[in-house]
Amino acid sequence: MAGYLLRRGLHLVLVLLLVTVAVSALLDLMPGDPALTILGTTASKADVAALDHQLGLDRPFAVRYASWLVASVHGDLGQSVITKQPVLQAIQQGLPITLEIVALALVIALAVAVPVAAYCARRPGGATDVTATGLSSVLLSLPAFVGGIVLLYLLAVVVPVVPVGGWVAFTEDPAANLHAAILPAVVIALGPCAGFFRVLRADMITTLQQDFVLTARAKGLPTRYILLRHALRPSLFTLVTTAGLTVGGLISASFIVDVIFQLPGLGNITVQAINTKDIPIVQGVTVFIAFVYVAANAVVDLTYAVLDPRVQRP
């Protein structure tokens, strides 16, 4: 187990290194100059060069990366070139919003997908099943930004039941917080909801053909009881795995809804930073998210390793 942990740890470090090098290099190649953002278009080349020097932006890429890496290892992700806000603080401010939207979206997706899939699996090919399967195809092919804009128009403008955008902290007003979060969460939940439905429906159809289900039916147990107590649980394995993997996709999708709904989550922070070439913020957020991804995968792998010792073998 110790060897396995060591290998996973090295893997984590390697992935983070690659991600940070790639992001830093891409940002370095990106056009624009933060000094010009700060000084405005009337700035002379000399003024811009002086500020670039002051901000350390005139150093070679390798030097800047190495210096950032050393500081990051010590827990200092730097500060925004534009707002001078510490990167960790920016992440701390944006993360709860992103996590709330993602968690809410996951709950919504599961809450809708599970009962509908169970119901449809009961009569595959029936009217409800055909309709739900067709709708899931539409939702799976619908990009979040399209769904976001359409739902925004319908539910916030045409029938104004939710706010158009903006955010209220949970601690400030829980009801208003839910009101602000619900539509963005629904938007990013659409795709995963359709995916979960498909996976669970297929698994349940298979499960419902198993002998133990036939036995239960033969015993005269009610259909609802059979579905919920006998068929659902053994059908959930694929769904649980898929749901876990979907969290990453939901974080990505939250970046889009952050912009559409003007939410102060990690997505909005990153987009603003990209627009102003605020390298430390983009680096910090990217590394943070990469770390979360890699760490989550590592936890999953470790869980597999505990469940099935064979995966520990090199």
Partner 1 sequence: MSAPPRSIRTAVLLVLALALAACSGGGLRPNARNTGPAGPPTRGGSLSTYTNQQFFSFDPKDVQVPIFGAQGGYMAAIYGLLFYVDHKTDKVRPDLGESLTSEPGCRTWNLKLRDGVRFSDGTPLDAQAVKTNYERIQDPAGHSPLAVHLAGVKMKTAGDRTLRLTLPAPNCQFDVVAANNLSFVASPTAIKKQGKQFYANPVGAGPFRLQTWNRSAGSATVVRNPSYFRSGQPYLDKITFTYATNATTALNTLLRGQVQLSGALFDTTTYDKAVAQGLATRTIPANGGAAIQFNTLRKPFDKLCARQVVAYGLDPAAMSKALNKSKLLGGPTHTLFQPGSPFYDPRLRFPSNDRAKATAYAKQCQSQGDPVRFTILANAGVDQQAAEYVASRLNTIPGVHAAIRVISVAQAATVVFLHRDFQLVFYPGAMMFGDPVPQLSSWLMTKGAVNITGYSNKQMDAALAEGQSAHDVAARRTAYEQVQRLWIRDLPFWMYAKAQYYFVFAKNVAGVDPVNPGNELLRWNLVGYAGKAG
Residues in contact with partner 1 by the rule CB under 8 A: 30-33, 36-43, 45, 47-48, 50-51, 80, 82-85, 90, 93-94, 149, 152-153, 156-157, 160, 163-167, 259-262, 264, 268-269, 271-272, 274-277
With the CA atoms of 147, 150, 156 and 159 taken in that order, what torsion angle do they form, in degrees rounded to the nearest 10? Answer: -120
Q: How far is the CB of 159 from partner 1 (least distance, A)?
A: 12
Q: Of 121 and 281, which CB lies nearer to partner 1 in the complex structure?
A: 281
Return the amino acid letter for 231.
A
Contact status, residue 304 vs residue 244, Cβ threshold 8 Å: no
Terminal C-alpha separation, the chain: 11
Nearer of residues 148 and 192 to partner 1, judged by Cβ: 148
CB 239 within 8 A of CB 196: yes
How far is CA 188 from each of CA 107, 160, 195, 213, 250, rounded to the nearest angstrom?
11, 20, 12, 35, 7
How far is residue 292's CA from residue 311's CA, in Å, rounded to a whole number? 22
Least spacing, CB of residue 261 vs partner 1, in Å: 6
Closest CB to partner 1 among 99 and 271? 271
The residue (of 9 and 160) whose beta carbon lies closer to partner 1 is 160
CB of 163 to partner 1, least distance (A): 6
**Among positive and negative, which fits the CA dihedral 279, 88, 97, 287?**
positive
Q: Under the phi-then-psi rule, with left for phi > 0, alpha for psi from -120 to 50, and beta for the rest, what region is 313?
A: beta
207 or 272: whose CB is closer to partner 1?
Answer: 272
Alpha helices in the chain (DSSP H): 2-29, 34-39, 45-55, 61-73, 87-122, 127-140, 144-152, 174-207, 211-218, 223-225, 232-260, 266-275, 279-307
Indicate the residue among 55 and 69 with the shorter CB distance to partner 1.
55
Residue number with CB closer to partner 1 (129 or 278): 278
Q: Are the CB atoms for 285 and 273 separated by under 8 Å? A: yes
Least distance CB 249 / partner 1 (angstroms): 22
Output the smallest distance, CB 265 to partner 1, in A: 8
User: Residue 179 CB, nearest distance to partner 1 (Å)?
Assistant: 12
Torsion of CA 271, 274, 280, 282, to 10 degrees: 50
Provide the minimum distance between the beta carbon of 97 and partner 1 in the complex, in angstroms, as a whole number: 9
CB of 19 to partner 1, least distance (A): 22
Q: Which two tokens mark 44?
A: 């002379």
The DSSP 8-state label assigned to residue 25 in this structure reads: H
Strand partners, 86: 79
Residue with tokens 């055909």: 130
Which residue, 57 or 117, has its beta carbon nearer to partner 1? 57
Q: Which residues pair with 79 in a beta bridge?
A: 86
